[in-house]
Amino acid sequence: MERTFVMVKPDGVQRALIGNIVSRLERKGLKVIAMKIYRIPRDIAERFYAEHKGKQFYDGLINYITSGPAVCMVWEGHEAVSVVRAIMGKTNPAEAQPGTVRGDFALHPGRNAIHGSDSQASAKREINLLFNDYELIDYRRIDAEWLVE
């Protein structure tokens, strides 16, 4: 089973989208194994988005992601990384398909409501950056055998 790191970004929290976003992942069949509301400190944000350092939107991105509380989560399931990316929609919400989180709720790439890891390697790195091992909870959902053959 794959794991991915998901965040409801500060705009998503302020716009009361936590429940809607969690609900979309939950009903898809993914299992939440960690969740916390967290105001990400600047040093963690800089490590989180290190790949974007030097880009024109980088300073704005760090200010955005540290501007208020976010909801940080780990979700687990079959092909969790790509499944969450599909549910999120494109980075630029103006191009994101209706039916995706960004397509339904966001307008601008600088306020795009949700983060999801882009690969299993990114997921591992991001989970380790935001969570301790003991915060990842091992349990079985009662519908597990109805979700995967």
Binding region for Mg ion (CB under 5 A): 118
Least distance between Mg ion and beta carbon 121 (Å)? 12
Among 109, 120, 124, 129, binds ligand IDP (CB under 6 A): 109
- Residues touching ligand IDP, count (CB under 6 A): 9
Kindly state the DSSP code that residue 143 receives in the 8-state scheme.
T
Q: Look at residue 61 and give the partner it binds from Mg ion, ligand IDP, none, a contact being a CB closer than 5 to 8 Å depending on partner kind.
A: ligand IDP
**Which backbone phi and psi does 84 adopt, to 5 degrees?**
-65, -40
Is residue 91 within 8 Å of residue 1, measured between CB atoms? no
Residue identified by tokens 């024109």 is: 56
Question: According to the binding rule CB under 6 A, does residue 97 interact with ligand IDP?
Answer: no
Question: According to the binding rule CB under 6 A, does residue 57 interact with ligand IDP?
Answer: yes
Question: According to the binding rule CB under 6 A, does residue 115 interact with ligand IDP?
Answer: yes
Query: Is 115 part of the annotated catalytic residue set?
Result: yes
Residue identified by tokens 């794959």 is: 2
Quickly list DSSP for 48-63: HTGGGTTSTTHHHHHH
Select which of 52, 78, 108, 115 is catalytic.
Answer: 115
Report the 10 Å Cβ neighbour count for 53: 11
Give me the residues that bind ligand IDP (CB under 6 A), please: 52, 57, 61, 91, 109-110, 112, 115, 118
